[in-house]
Amino acid sequence: MSTCQSQPLVEKMEPKEEILEGWLMVDVKYLLDNNIMEQSELERVMDRRNLFLKKRKNNDVNREDYMAQIREELKLVDVFKFNIDNRLQTEEMQYDYCKAMNLLVNTISYMYSRMLQIHPTNLSSLEDYIDFRYTNKSFIIDKPNLLHQVIAAKHDDLKVYKVAATLQYFKMNDVASARICLSEGLKFHKNSKTLLFDEFDLELQNLHDTNGESLPFALSKYEYMVKCFKGDLEFHFTLLDAVLRLDSVCELHYRVVSDMFVEYKRHEKMWQKLAVVILKGYIFDFELKRMHYNRHCNQRLPSSIKVFVDSLNENWWSPEKRKILWNMFIEHMITIWRTSTMENETIPRINYYVNVTMEQVFEGALHEGCLYKAEHYLYWALHDNKFRFAITLKALNMNINNVCSWLDILVVYIEARSSEMVKKVFEYAVAFLRSNSTPLWRLVEEYIIKHGVALELFEFYQKAIFGPYPIISMMFRPNLLKLFALSYGISITRKLFNELNKLSPPCKQLYVDMIAYEQTSSNFNKKQISKLYREVCFSLRQGDVALWANYIKFEYTHVDQYTAKNIYNSSLEYLGPDLFSTLTVEFKNMKREYYEYVHILKHQKYNKYCKFHFILIFRRNTRIINPDIIDVDEA
């Protein structure tokens, strides 16, 4: 089959209604003449087209109408392509096919463009349009003109311009058209940071694809942006990150980093960013005015560290800024330490260099009074085995009353599975924080449960419960009771409960848990449960509606209704009018549910009684005299 060439069938892509109707007739004629579609199917196609044209003439067509008609026309495109191989036998037939396809494809392209000019432009439809143009580019006559007509209008959604440019570049391989799409957006959104960056990003992609030949375009866009947004450090970082995505280092890299250094050298964040960039391997030399990439850590690490050393040698920093810089330097060294430990385990000299430098950085920050974060002391302690606890104590002494700092310290040692240090830090913390140390108790309890043994947990609970801090004691009494209930059974659990119940102040949760253990025990003791409920509700004068409701329900179900009603009446004194009204609702519901339950039981017993007598009567009437065959369970 010879290649179909585009036919110059129309001069403009703004057809009048009669021309559009002519377009929509040619492909139908071709389908009919070549017996590709049945007459009835083609008639339905024409009916839909005529309806669409009528609505269009009356200015009554909307986005959905366009899209529906486009879908119908796309089906015809599929029909054409499916029958290509079998139909193109002669030059004349090839010409007819190309002519029909040209008209059909360009009509669909025109309808897409008209639909997309209905605001707001639908991004998904725009992507479909460009995909359609790409798939059928051999038949498209207008080149990108129709697309430019769509983009030439003002769009509030800036993504419209970017999507069009991106698809033109990657789908159609048309950088000129992609540039036009973005420049059209900048006509309506002048100096838009988003669109200007999209332009720059496009030029970076083109710079990569042309192996550096389009560098002047990228430099031009970059220079315009830094001029427009002079003083915007974060945006400069964004530009730098975009440039670093390029595979090869070029003049643009040096320009972006050099401008950043000159413009923002009095900003501490610039030094931090520069150190990170060099750590990635992009070695920057301001004196030699060059930049290159080096993947070897023996050059990356010293060059990156030197950035912070140079920054601290500058004399323009205020004390507060120096403190921030030291903090950044420490964070940078911690990052290097982590990565070098993982990546360079087989290179002792690299690890040695990192360890020595890290020690110097901690000592330098401490000497200037800039080592002020507890977590930094912790990393220092983890790094230095010899003086680990002494360094940890420095961190603690700086934050002696800060619970969060203590927690941070404990978490570090827990993650390191250093049980000895966990114990030391915990005891030291409790001595200072006293009753405010409850979060630390919780954390250590979780650690022991996960990594310890039962004996350690028992000893931990003893220290917590019988220690000098009532709030901590009450917190862990139910936990010890649970440990015994799971391990030793109800008898020993009762003894422990009696011992724990002697402690002051009394603990409501201890009663609640003990009642639950009694109720689930195989040795169900109603008197013991009633006694526990009575003590917690009356003796402790609890104003807990749910607890009183459970007490009354237990008595109503397992003891007697008269006692339950007396308890209900007595609860007013302990609950007060508002809570008592809530309990009244609960009590009414309880009685209703109980009577419904009793009624169901009586009904079940009556049914069994009737069934039993029915069997007896049936057997007498059938003269079955052997009573042994009666189903005892059913009876």
Residue 372 lies in a domain: no
Task: Determine the Cα–Cα distance for residues 219 and 197; give it in Å rounded to an integer.
Answer: 13
pTM of the model: 0.60
Task: Determine the Cα–Cα distance for residues 511 and 518; give it in Å rounded to an integer.
Answer: 10
Composition of the chain by helix, strand, coil, percent to 5: 75, 0, 25
Residue 440 lies in a domain: no
Residue 286 lies in a domain: no
Task: Count how many domains the chain has.
Answer: 2
pLDDT band at 93 (very low <50, low <70, confident <90, very high): low
Residue 471 lies in a domain: no
501 within 8 A of 512, measured Cβ to Cβ: no
Task: Using the 3D structure, point to which of 104, 126, 142 is the last residue of a domain.
Answer: 142
Residue 3 lies in a domain: no
Task: Determine the Cα–Cα distance for residues 63 and 86; give it in Å rounded to an integer.
Answer: 36
Structure-token pair, residue 393: 């104590």
Task: Determine the Cα–Cα distance for residues 157 and 619; give it in Å rounded to an integer.
Answer: 88
What pLDDT, on a 0 to 100 scale, did the predictor assign at position 5? 43
Residue 409 lies in a domain: no
308 within 8 A of 275, measured Cβ to Cβ: yes
Q: Which residue has the higher pLDDT, 542 or 115?
A: 115
The 10 Å Cβ neighbour count of residue 90 is 9
Residue 36 lies in a domain: yes
Task: Using the 3D structure, point to which of 107, 142, 177 is the last residue of a domain.
Answer: 142
What pLDDT, on a 0 to 100 scale, did the predictor assign at position 12? 34
Taking all residues of the chain, what is their mean pLDDT, rounded to a whole number? 81
> Which residue segment(s) compose the domain that 79 sits in?
14-142
pLDDT band at 341 (very low <50, low <70, confident <90, very high): low
Residue 375 lies in a domain: no
pLDDT in tens, 123-179: 888 888 888 888 888 888 766 677 788 888 888 889 989 998 998 899 888 899 999
